């Protein structure tokens, strides 16, 4: 028979172990994009960093727009995003320090396998976008101010197409949900390659346009200016940034694979 | 927060009173979908509620409990069910209703009906059976009899309608899954609030929240005024 006292002391011990608040110094709050979290990259990298440094990284995965906002408000210690223009503004305005490009992957245009808008032989991504708009096909946009959404807007702008044609649907959802919607509606969408690889089995879609370097998707890690928010964990943030650009982490990024495909290419250079 | 509460509230009010087209498109999607769902379910639900209260038929106990259960199912579960029915591979996939207002209306009907049935059943059960019997023995037709009972029950029946309506007007789970939150088409107040919050743009979320708050204040104060006239009689 179970002894009440032993159950009680066990419960107490369990509560102490799991519920004990780690000391504020040891926690690093990282705001980042859903792609780094959903792809499983962070789960692969963080335990190693945590074991080596003694810090604990808490990840807040959200769109790049919201991640930058959290950083502006001093709600997180460090930020890793993928929207170069918005990041440059963040640094210029004195919120961000020491932006370091740590890795990149690329965007692709996904669409129905039979490619109704005939974008496969397009020379540029702008041409492909214009064809989608002209053909009357459906285009599903994330419309959530994420890094992918910002990239999409830049392309429409460069293609001189007004993104309000009949088939344009701005759905305001994360990448995964947007892919499922595009699949249901058999429309086109702009996606990062990593999320597509992760969702491939669920989708009746193909990469209809692969833009190479023109669709590169660079990720940066940035520190937050201590002058703005002195009480953040700046030491931990710096340690994390330094670790990410090191040979070990850069190697781990290169060798991280999902379903046999490399998702990110390490890019740090002095 | 470096924006400050007051500044946010000011921006939100600005959006509302400048009749920002985005805000009003969202509000109108919300209302047209929810009114349609309520309009279609109202009469059948009330009739079922009446039958469950007054009728005696096999399976009555089972149906009553089933409806009580349906009332407490989270809206995302109903959303999931409707999604699976409407998806390309689903039994109703050929309708192509997924990510349309029709799909949202279907989902909201399934959320609203149990509330209407259960609350109207409770109202009809509470009425003095003699009101019904007397009007019938005085030669009133079936229909007139029901009207007499309904007049007695004006307040509780209105409360049922308000409860059903507020449940569908405020639910986010089913609308997000089945509607897909498409701008200007299926984006309603709750899904827009979820989106704006995920973007970190709080002003518009607050503006939309205010619309819901004002609406529920108006509905409930109106009900309160009606109820005020229906105090228990002292003699």
User: Which tens digit of pLDDT belongs to each residue from A126-182?
Assistant: 999 999 999 999 999 999 888 899 999 999 999 999 988 999 999 999 888 899 999
CATH label of the domain that carries residue B95: 1.10.3720.10
Looking at the partner chain, which of B1, B181, B198 has a beta carbon nearest the beta carbon of A73? B1
**Cα–Cα distance measured from residue B68 to residue A99, given in angstroms and rounded to the nearest whole number:** 57
pLDDT for A62:
84
Average pLDDT for residues A54-65, to the nearest whole number?
Answer: 88
Find chain B residues with C-beta within 8 A of A74's C-beta. Answer: 2
Q: Is the pLDDT of residue A48 over 60?
A: yes
Q: Which of residues 13-52 of A touch B (CB under 8 A)?
A: none
- State the distance between the two ends of chain A, measured CA to CA, in whole angstroms: 65
Instruction: Choose between B227 and B212: higher pLDDT.
Output: B212
Greatest Cα pair distance in chain B: 72
Q: B180 in helix, strand or coil? A: coil
Q: Is the pLDDT of residue B123 over 90?
A: yes
How many residues does this entry show for chain A?
270
A147 touching B, CB under 8 A? no
What chain A residue is nearest to B99 in terms of C-alpha separation?
A: A181
Q: Is the pLDDT of residue A24 over 60?
A: no
B90 touching A, CB under 8 A? no
Q: Is the pLDDT of residue A15 over 60?
A: no
- Chain A with chain B: Cβ pairs closer than 8 A: 52
Average pLDDT for residues B21-42, to the nearest whole number?
Answer: 94
pLDDT for B47:
92
8 Å CB contact of B200 and A65: yes
Answer yes or no: are the C-beta atoms of A163 and A138 closer than 8 Å: no
pLDDT for A8:
63
Domain ranges of chain A: 27-104+218-266, 105-215
Instruction: Please report where in the chains the tokens 């040979």 appear, as a residue.
Output: A247
Q: Given the DSSP bridges, would you call strands A139-141 and A168-170 parallel, antiparallel or unpaired?
A: parallel
Tally of CB atoms within 10 A around A66:
22
What chain A residue is nearest to B1 in terms of C-alpha separation?
A: A73
What chain B residue is nearest to A186 in terms of C-alpha separation?
A: B88
Find chain B residues with C-beta within 8 A of A145's C-beta. Answer: 199, 201
Q: Is residue B14 included in any domain, yes or no? A: yes
For chain B, how many structural domains are there in total? 1
8 Å CB contact of B87 and A184: yes
Q: Is residue B126 included in any domain, yes or no? A: yes
Q: A96 in helix, strand or coil? A: strand
Q: Is the pLDDT of residue A1 over 50?
A: no
Q: Which of residues 95-114 of B touch A (CB under 8 A)?
A: 98-99
Q: Which residues pair with A55 in a beta bridge?
A: none
Class of domain A105-215: alpha beta
Looking at the partner chain, which of B1, B2, B182 has a beta carbon nearest the beta carbon of A170? B182
ipTM above 0.90 for this complex: no
8 Å CB contact of A73 and B2: yes
Q: Is the pTM of this model over 0.95?
A: no
pLDDT for A22:
46
What chain A residue is nearest to B179 in terms of C-alpha separation?
A: A171
Average pLDDT for residues B215-231, to the nearest whole number?
Answer: 81
- Token output for B229: 């006239």
What chain A residue is nearest to B192 in terms of C-alpha separation?
A: A172
B190 is in which domain, residue-wise?
A: 1-228
Q: Is the pLDDT of residue B1 over 60?
A: no
pLDDT for B176:
93
Average pLDDT for residues B26-39, to the nearest whole number?
Answer: 96
8 Å CB contact of B181 and A171: yes
Answer yes or no: are the C-beta atoms of A85 and A57 closer than 8 Å: no
Q: Is the pLDDT of residue A94 over 60?
A: yes
Q: Is residue B123 included in any domain, yes or no? A: yes
Q: Nearest 5 degrees, angle CA B211-CA A142-CA A111?
A: 140
Q: Is residue B177 included in any domain, yes or no? A: yes
pLDDT range class, residue B220, cuts 50, 70, 90: confident
A184 touching B, CB under 8 A? yes
What chain A residue is nearest to B187 in terms of C-alpha separation?
A: A171
Average pLDDT for residues B175-186, to the nearest whole number?
Answer: 92
B195 touching A, CB under 8 A? yes
B88 touching A, CB under 8 A? yes
Q: What is the mean pLDDT of chain A?
A: 89
pLDDT range class, residue A12, cuts 50, 70, 90: low
pLDDT for A18:
53
8 Å CB contact of B200 and A69: yes
Q: Nearest 5 degrees, angle CA B131-CA B134-CA B140?
A: 105
Q: Which residues pair with A170 in a beta bridge?
A: A141
Tally of CB atoms within 10 A around B228:
9
A69 touching B, CB under 8 A? yes
Find chain A residues with C-beta within 8 A of B99's C-beta. Answer: 169, 181, 184-185
> What is the Cα gyration radius of chain B?
21
The half-sphere exposure of A263 on its side-chain side, counting CA atoms within 13 A, is: 24
pLDDT range class, residue A211, cuts 50, 70, 90: confident
Percent of chain B surpassing pLDDT 90: 54
pLDDT for A49:
95
CATH level 2 (architecture), domain A27-104+218-266: 3-Layer(aba) Sandwich (3.40)
- Token output for A149: 């959404």
pLDDT for B110:
96
Percent of chain A surpassing pLDDT 90: 66
The reply to whether A27-104+218-266 and A105-215 are identical in fold is: yes
Instruction: Choose between A15 and B136: higher pLDDT.
Output: B136
Q: Is residue B234 included in any domain, yes or no? A: no
A187 touching B, CB under 8 A? no
Q: What is the mean pLDDT of chain B?
A: 88
**Cα–Cα distance measured from residue A217 to residue A210, given in angstroms and rounded to the nearest whole number:** 13
Find chain B residues with C-beta within 8 A of A169's C-beta. Answer: 99, 180, 182-183, 185
């Amino acid at each position: 028979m179970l002894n009440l006292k032993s159950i009680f002391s066990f419960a107490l011990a369990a509560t102490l172990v799991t519920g004990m608040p780690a000391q504020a110094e040891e926690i690093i709050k990282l705001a980042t994009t859903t792609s780094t979290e959903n792809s499983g990259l962070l789960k692969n990298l963080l335990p190693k960093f945590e074991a080596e440094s003694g810090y604990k990284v808490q990840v807040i995965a959200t769109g790049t727009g919201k991640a930058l906002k959290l950083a502006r408000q001093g709600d997180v210690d460090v930020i890793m995003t993928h929207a170069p223009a918005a990041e440059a503004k963040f640094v210029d305005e004195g919120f961000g320090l020491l932006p370091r490009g740590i890795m990149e992957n690329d965007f692709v245009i996904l669409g129905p396998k039979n490619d109704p808008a005939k974008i496969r032989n397009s020379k540029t991504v702008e041409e492909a976008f214009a064809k989608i708009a002209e053909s009357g096909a459906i285009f599903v946009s994330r419309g959530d101010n994420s890094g992918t959404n910002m990239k999409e807007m830049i392309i429409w702008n460069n293609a001189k197409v007004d993104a309000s044609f009949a088939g344009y649907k701005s759905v305001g959802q994360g990448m995964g949900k947007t892919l499922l919607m595009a699949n249901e509606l058999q429309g086109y969408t702009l996606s990062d390659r990593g999320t597509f690889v992760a969702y491939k089995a669920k989708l009746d879609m193909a990469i209809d346009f692969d833009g190479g370097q023109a669709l590169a998707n660079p990720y940066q890690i940035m520190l937050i200016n201590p002058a703005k928010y002195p009480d953040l964990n700046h030491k931990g943030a710096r340690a994390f940034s330094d670790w990410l650009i090191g040979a070990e982490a850069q190697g781990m990024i290169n060798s991280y694979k999902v379903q046999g495909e490399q998702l990110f290419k390490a890019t740090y250079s002095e | 927060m470096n924006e400050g509460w007051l500044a946010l509230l000011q921006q939100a009010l600005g959006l509302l009173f400048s009749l920002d087209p985005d805000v009003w498109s969202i509000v109108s999607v919300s209302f047209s979908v929810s009114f349609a769902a309520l309009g279609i379910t109202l009469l059948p639900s009330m009739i079922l509620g009446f039958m469950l209260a007054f009728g005696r038929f096999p399976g009555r106990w089972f149906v009553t409990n089933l409806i009580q259960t349906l009332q407490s199912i989270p809206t995302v579960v109903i959303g999931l069910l409707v999604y699976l029915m409407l998806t390309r591979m689903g039994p109703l996939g050929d309708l192509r209703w997924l990510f349309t207002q029709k799909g949202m209306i279907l989902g909201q009907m399934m959320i609203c009906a149990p509330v209407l049935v259960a609350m109207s059943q409770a109202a009809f059960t509470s009425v003095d059976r003699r009101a019904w019997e007397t009007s019938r023995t005085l030669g009133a037709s079936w229909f007139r009899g029901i009207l007499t009972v309904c007049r007695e029950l004006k307040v509780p029946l209105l409360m049922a309608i308000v409860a059903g309506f507020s449940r569908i007007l405020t639910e986010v789970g089913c609308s997000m899954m089945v509607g897909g939150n498409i701008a200007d088409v299926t984006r309603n107040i709750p899904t827009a609030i979820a989106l704006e919050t995920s973007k970190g743009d709080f002003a518009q979320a607050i503006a939309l929240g205010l619309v819901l708050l004002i609406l529920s204040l108006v509905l409930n104060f109106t009900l309160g005024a009606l109820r005020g006239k229906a105090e228990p009689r002292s003699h």
